[in-house]
Amino acid sequence: MNVEAYVGTPLFGAQGQPIGVMVALYCRPLENPALAEMILNLFSARTGAEIERMRTEDELRRVTARWHEANKRTAASQRSPHRREALSRTGDRHRTWLWRDHRKKDGLKEVLAQVSKVAPSDATVLLLGETGTGKEVVARAVHHVSRRKEQAFIKMNCAAIPTGLLESELFGHEKGAFTGAASRKLGRLELADNGTLFLDEIGEISLELQPKLLRVLQGQEFESLGSTQTLKVNFRLIAATNRDLSREVAEGRFRSDRYDRLNVFPIRIPPLRRAAETFQLWWNISCASMRSESTKVSPTFRRKLSLRS
């Protein structure tokens, strides 16, 4: 093969680690090397995300197998007469009934199962659902079951911060970086180092800021505002949105390469239309923890929940 030119670019995983190289070979001299490099970078970002997704799926299959095995052992111990007697003596029969009740709630059961699967890995999680469905609660659940549970859980609502301040909040700034920057400020990225970063309403981030965030997702490195020093961080990203990001990509309001990096392990939270069932389940959890006998939500309140949704 007659190779006149080539362009190469590294492939990065979710934690910024190099996982390979993508090379394009040309049988004639390149007329526009910059354009060829830009196109290859676009493909490399998607390829790296896809490789990472496949590796995550393999890891999740192994975790799921261990999870099912643990469930079998738990179920076997629950069937033991001595175990049933112990549960009765301590008043934990509420929790036994709660597990039986939880299996009937298909939507919530699926969410809890997905949390159990993805939490042990460092895969990026994308939480999808309507406003008020408890996406932050699910994000905290993922963090508290993960290997990073002893480290910080840093959250930021991208919709609650003005666009002009969002970059400073995310990346931090040095003293004198802009008018009013009287001292150095650590950004959420640096605060989340070795822990979990939860970006709520991530669909609200502007197109101008998205490439900078993409660089962090690819290489887990960045510069704070007013600094030339590159900082390396190691965090687990959980993002949430109430938008249809695939539609946002199609309409040009969200970068496709960034969507690929976020959409590694999506979890859809059940809508509020199932609020009555979900509230009964969380009520059962609270009553079980307080050893309370009042484990039934009144029919009147259930009707009000249904009307609200």
Task: Supply the DSSP string of 186-214, one letter for each residue.
Answer: E-HHHHTTTSEEEEETGGGS-TTTHHHHH
For 208-241, the pLDDT digits (tens) are: 888 888 888 888 888 888 888 888 999 999 999 9
**3-state DSSP assignment of residue 138:** helix
Angle at 198 between CA 266 and CA 117, to 5 degrees: 40
For 9-42, the pLDDT digits (tens) are: 888 766 667 778 888 888 888 778 777 777 777 7
Provide CATH code, domain 49-270. Answer: 3.40.50.300
Q: Lowest-pLDDT range, 6-15, 87-96, 148-157?
A: 87-96
- What number of other Cβ atoms are within 10 A of residue 60's Cβ? 18
d(CA 94, CA 298): 18
With a CB cutoff of 8 Å and minimum separation 6, the contacts of 145 are 115, 116, 119, 120
Which of 246, 261, 242, 265 has the alpha carbon at shortest distance from 113? 265
What pLDDT is stored for residue 19 in this prediction? 79
Which whole-number Å values give the CA distances from 59 to 143, 218, 257, 292, in the listed order?
18, 20, 23, 40
d(CA 256, CA 173): 28
With a CB cutoff of 8 Å and minimum separation 6, the contacts of 12 are 18, 19, 48, 218, 219
Structure tokens belonging to residue 146:
């993960």
What residue ranges do the domains of the chain occupy? Answer: 5-48, 49-270, 275-308
Mode of pairing for the β-strands spanning 185-186 and 172-173: antiparallel
Beta pairing partners, 18:
12
